[in-house]
A and B are shown apart, each in its own frame.
Chain A
Amino acid sequence: MSMKQIANWALNTVTQRGASYADVRIVDHRQRSLATKNGKVGHAGSAETLGIGIRVLVNDAWGFASTDDLSREAVDKAAAQAVEIAKASSRVKEEPVRLAAEPAVKIEWSSPYKIDPFTTSLDQNLDLLTRIDAELLAVKGVTLAESSMQLGRYEQWFYNTDGSDIHQTRVITGAGFCALAFQGTEIMKRSYPNSFGGQHQNRGYELIDELKLLENARRIGEEAVALHKAERCPEGRMNLVLDSSQLGLQIHESIGHPIELDRVLGYEANFAGTSFLTLEKLRTLRYGSDLVNVVADATEQHGPGLGTFAYDDEGVQAQCTPIITKGLFTGYISSRETAHTIGETRSNGTMRAEGWNRIPLVRMTNISILPGDKPLTFDQLIAGTDDGIFMQTNRSWSIDDKRYNFQFGCEIGWEIKGGKLGRMFKNPSYSGITTEFWNSMDAICSRDQWTLWGTPNCGKGQPMQTMGTGHGASPARFRNVKIGTAYKGN
């Protein structure tokens, strides 16, 4: 049975039962997940899941039903259930759902990769992880070493009643490690290349080689131990330089989420929250300084980010939308349903679902800050800074439900004095108000310092969906930032 035939059963059933629009996604998702702890296997497993999700509009209201059973009987049943659910939805509504028009397309697309990660041997995968652990544990004072690797293949067939037929496959690779050092009354931590699982991209196994994991393990272990001897990061208003991974998370939390148009419109008010970016702020709000240029870019040209695809999960082509242009707030990320609320006639293509059993939601694609035009290396950035703190690698992150007030903790900080990096600081943190912070940015490094980071674990929606998003960034400097709040009073 072809996927198209299965989808047609569903589309025929819902059309006969009164659906004015419907789309069907069949997803086959396979993963390999490996982790080691102190050189021993932590978790080791594979997972695969296959199923169909059917989304329908009936009486101008939404219904969705999904099943893991692709038999004709089960698909027809789920299709009928989706219609029944939509009819129930239509009993409690204020406004009809209005979908922006979208042309039908037929396309096949696969994310490019050099080495199919599933062709690499498990031996090879585990060997790398245990060798990293050994390097970390070779450092006296490291009390826990953990390494992990995730390999994934996400294949989706999309069909809708407009006639679209979109077959896409994304190959995803990720890896990272961390060292913990417990001493006295403190647990110190260093991670590489990023915290919470490392770096993740729409790439093949070639990414693992490029990350130079083993080569960095010794240094990371030593830093974790050295933090115990470091002074606590001072408190006060100071200049702040962030590494690109922390800046990536800063973008995610204080730009990526507030620009979600469904959030702005109140769709997430009960769970994730709303947004300070109310509609009148579009093209009027000074989001940041002149140097702040941010895009939402799902196209292949942007790079192999976790937010790269050919078409989104309601059949809209990947696009690049200017979000902040020379500091001015210029765009939201939208869907076919929400586009009209900002006067647009087309969605900018950001609807994404976690799997066959979830509906697509407005989701970050690759939300990236563009690098500076003028050449500026990290060393030059530091050399141009009289005093301040340089912070690396996220440790804690928190932001309010309208995305104004944030506080981030990092794993390690360094004093900047007279254009040079000096003493190490432990427990660095900074806090602020989103727009004030972005308006204080006065330098950003150029393209050669820019990394497209992957956040694999962004949560949104009820039932909760986890999504991978991309965030390109290069190191940047912010003036007069509030530093050290996390330990204030403690």
Chain B
Amino acid sequence: MLTQSHAEQIFKKIKKFSTVDEIEVIFSSTDFSLTRFANNTIHQNVAEVNEAASIRVAFDGKTARATTNRFDDEGLKRAVQSAESIAKVQEPDPDFLPMAEASGGKGTAGPSRSSDQTAAITPGERADGVGKIVAIAKKNKLVTAGIYSSAQTAEAVINSNGLSVYHRQTSAEVSITMLADSSSGWQKANSPDVRNVDPVRLAEIAAQKARDSRSPQELPPGKYTVILEPAAVLDLVGFMFWDFGGLAILDQRSFLNNRIGTKLFGENITIVDDVAHPFQSNAPFDGEGVHRQRVSLVEKGVIRNIVYARSTAAKMRKSEYKDKVGEIRVTGHGFPLPNEMGEAPTNIVFVTPGKEQTVEQMIAGTERGILITRLWYIREVDPYEKILTGMTRDGTFLVEGGKVKHGLLNFRFNQSLIEMLNSVESIGKAVRASGEEAFDMVVPAMKIRGFNFTEVTKF
């Protein structure tokens, strides 16, 4: 795994190959393994070791990037030259900022996200874990498919202004699908520390969902009260956070245009971006090496703030929107430059208002509704009203008289996120959750009224 001092040595070498004013390198180092299973068999099992240097040059208001995984002199020189030649042909940008100062990286020594136990996982241990999952499948006369992965990664941002930040972390992830003849169940979890990921418990829950949803029945489409488990909430709300950046406002592509400062969601919705939260993951700095700050995005339903990369904050202060967008400050959420997306908050934490209910309590308090394990293939139908479409998957149940009755055929929904976050009747405790459509978050389960199902599929 690349260390900070080794990265700094390579940076010095790269700097010598360049003639330009400013240079920045993002180093990434990966040691990743994934054991994949299906039909109760390990059918794919892979490992990867890779290191890359992504070199950005800047001069005369121009900038470009070249990425290589060839660390010999020839490879690094070619990358530097490539970045220089792509920058050279550009028109100078009057808004262009010099690279971040060393002080911008201060405060990035966050909590350790590196675990020796996770780093030491062997292929044999992953196979043992899968063996236990398969045993639970067989005990329940089910077929299982899924993954067990483990990884060590390191990243560093170093620039010619003296900034040097480094983050190292480990990650373990298990995702399990249990399949019966006419139904399925699913669970997924990950953590920097493998001791927080329990394949047996996840397999038992997935198996129970598959058993309980056997012989699903058809319910007509329409508006229903739904109980969304955290993974389902995450995959939906994930679609809005790309709009919580300053550049999205300046580009007029955000659903928050003309809505910052207004009460857009219900009283019970409060959201922060907080990389330091104990359930969060990833590096405490952004694509320019700037420390990620905690930002309050939504307070009791009111859109309060959005996040900013350095150059976006400068542009916003000069823009027609400057008095209508909350506090304008560099928050450390920028993507590697140059880019057209600007920034986004990616360490989302839902702050729950108290009186949290467990999913079981939500079920017990529901006269008629639908319990949803997971959503799938979500896409944006309308970017300003934030109407999303998608399917339910792997465990959809009818709840009646406070009890889970039976499995249901899966639905297609077309639902406005804004309306949904105005219709939250009860909220669970926020947990670290993981789905397939959005990045991991700290989110609660939610009970929502009037969720809009438009069609039913055949299984």
Contact = CB atoms under 8 A, between A and B. Distances in A.
Contact of A185 (B47, B384, B393, B452): B384
Contacts of B88: 122
A180 B383 CA distance: 11
B143 A88 contact: no
Given A358-B46, A463-B32, A429 B459 contact: no
Contacts of A126: 89-90
B381 A409 contact: yes
A103 interface: no
B400 interface: no
Contacts of A42: 338-340
A158 B251 CA distance: 46
Contact of B68 (A48, A74, A405, A488): A48
Most chain A beta-carbon neighbours within 10 Å: one of B35, B46, B83, B412 = B46
Contacts of A35: 340
Interface in A391-426: 395-402, 404-405, 407, 409
A64 B146 contact: no
Nearest to A91: B127
B41 interface: yes
A109 interface: no
Contact of A51 (B32, B44, B50): B50
Contacts of A316: none
B257 A270 contact: no
Contacts of A146: 340
A328 B415 CA distance: 36
A47 B458 CA distance: 44
Contact of B384 (A34, A67, A186, A401): A186
B218 interface: no
Interface string B404-444: 00000010101110010000000000000000100000000
Contacts of A130: 91
Interface residues of B, number: 99
Contacts of B436: 271
Contacts of B378: 398
Interface string B166-188: 00000000011101000010100
B412 A94 contact: no
Interface stretch (B59-67, B192-200, B326-334, B364-372): B59-67
B21 interface: no
Interface string A241-266: 00000000000000000000000011
A323 to B, nearest CB: 21
A35 B70 CA distance: 25
B381 A487 contact: yes
Interface stretch (A77-85, A164-172, A279-287, A441-449): A77-85
B377 A398 contact: yes
B393 A463 contact: no
Contacts of B390: 398
Contacts of B91: 40-41, 130
A351 to B, nearest CB: 12
Contact of A37 (B67, B143, B340): B340
Interface residues of A, number: 93
Nearest to A38: B251
A64 B44 contact: yes
A387 B143 CA distance: 49
A281 B71 CA distance: 52
Interface in B172-227: 175-177, 179, 184, 186, 223
A272 to B, nearest CB: 9
A301 interface: no
A49 B69 contact: yes
A92 B134 contact: yes
A402 B459 contact: yes
A78 B31 CA distance: 12
Nearest to B389: A398
A85 B131 contact: no
B123 A94 contact: no
A413 to B, nearest CB: 14
A173 interface: no
Contact of B69 (A43, A68, A461): A68
Given A62-B45, A92-B130, A401 B376 contact: yes
Contact of B50 (A46, A89, A357, A398): A357
Contacts of B257: 182
Contact of B51 (A37, A45, A68, A185): A68
A95 B143 CA distance: 14
Nearest to A405: B457
Interface in A355-387: 357-359
Contact of B391 (A67, A68, A267, A400): A400
Interface of B: 32-52, 62-70, 75, 78-79, 82-83, 85-91, 93, 122-124, 126-127, 130-131, 134, 143, 145-147, 149, 175-177, 179, 184, 186, 223, 251-253, 257, 338-340, 376-385, 387, 389-391, 393, 410, 412, 414-416, 419, 436, 452, 454-459
9 contacts: A44-B65, A49-B68, A94-B41, A95-B39, A122-B89, A271-B175, A402-B457, A487-B382, A490-B387
Interface of A: 32, 34-35, 37-38, 40-51, 61-69, 74, 78, 81-82, 84-95, 121-123, 126, 130, 143-144, 146, 180, 182, 185-187, 189, 265-271, 273, 276, 357-359, 395-402, 404-405, 407, 409, 427, 429, 431, 433, 461-463, 485-490
Given A91-B131, A407-B412, 11 more contacts: A32-B86, A47-B66, A64-B47, A88-B122, A130-B91, A144-B252, A266-B38, A267-B145, A401-B391, A485-B455, A490-B387
